[in-house]
Structure formats: C-alpha cells, structure tokens
Amino acid sequence: MSELVVIGYDSPQTAHEALRTVQRMPSDTVADLTGVAVVSVDESGETHVDTPRRDDRIALSATSGALWAMVIGLLVATPALGVLGAAIGGLYGKLRTMGVDDTFREQVRSLLEPGSAAVVIMASGIGEEEFAAAMRPHGGTVLKTSFDEEAETELAEQLTGSA
C-alpha cells in the first residue's frame, strides 16, 4: 500500500529543507520512495513543481512515473473533466476513488496559498514514528491518504497501456 503525504509550509525554503530531510531518510523509515516533490505558489499565485534532479532512492518505472505525474497533476491542477476526454476522465475518476478525492484536493489547495509550499511524498513502508520524528523540526501541516495496492497497480497499468 502506498501513502500520499502532503506537508504544507509557510515558505518554499522550509519545504526544500524538509525535502532534503526526506531524501536523507534511511530505508527503514521510508522503504520505497516512489516520488517526492516541492509544490510552491509564488506571490502572483502561479504554481511551481520542483522534483529532485537525481535521487538514487527514487527509481521511477514507467508505471510509477506515470502514476506520480497523475497524482501531482490532480493535486495542483483544476482539470475540467468535460474537456479531458473519456479515457483521461476515467483515470482521474479512478484516482479519486483511491483517496485523492475533491475533499483531499481542497485540503491540499488550502495549504498552497501564495508564498507557501508543500512537500508531496508518495511512498510505501513509512515508519510513522520515525518519519514524524524526522519531520518534526520543520513543523508544517500534514495531510495523508493511502492507495490500495491492487487499485494502484490497475491505475498504473491503465496509465502506461501495459494492462
């Protein structure tokens, strides 16, 4: 089961410091890091997504990379499902049933006011106590949802056409 963790911060600088903490976590704290990014909103309200250029802990396969891109897109974009087409709309619908629903998205958006940022982490095998202890110095507001492994695999296969 993968978990999607979004931690909101008052500044992009704090979010980037938190990102470095996540990248340094041992594998017994975060066993399988699928994706990590900093999403920030500048003072004019424009959203930016920064992903690490190279992180040996993140080995994105085509399926996990497609799923990660879809998750980030759903969190920070406001897709007009009417113009997406049936196939893409179906994928977004599937992701919604996996825990990234409108309520979760609104909670994420409420963290992302101009001048703020969030670290977005998708991983499995998160040691809750160790993770919380490592992230505590950065503060922040934590949102979390989980993906059922079977549904995640099905969605990833649909995204890459490898079903």
Q: Output the six-digit token pair for 23.
A: 């990248």
User: Would the pTM of this model clear 0.95, i.e. be above it?
Assistant: no
- Determine the pLDDT at residue 54: 55
- Determine the pLDDT at residue 133: 93
- Determine the pLDDT at residue 68: 65
Give pLDDT < 50 ranges for the chain. 62, 80-84
Cα 85 from Cα 121, distance rounded (Å):
28
- Determine the pLDDT at residue 60: 52
- Determine the pLDDT at residue 73: 73
Cα 122 from Cα 88, distance rounded (Å):
21
In degrees rounded to 5, what are phi and psi of residue 161?
70, 25
Task: Report whether 67 contacts 152 (CB < 8 A).
Answer: yes
- Determine the pLDDT at residue 84: 46
| DSSP state at residue 146 | E
- Determine the pLDDT at residue 58: 58
Cα 111 from Cα 38, distance rounded (Å):
12
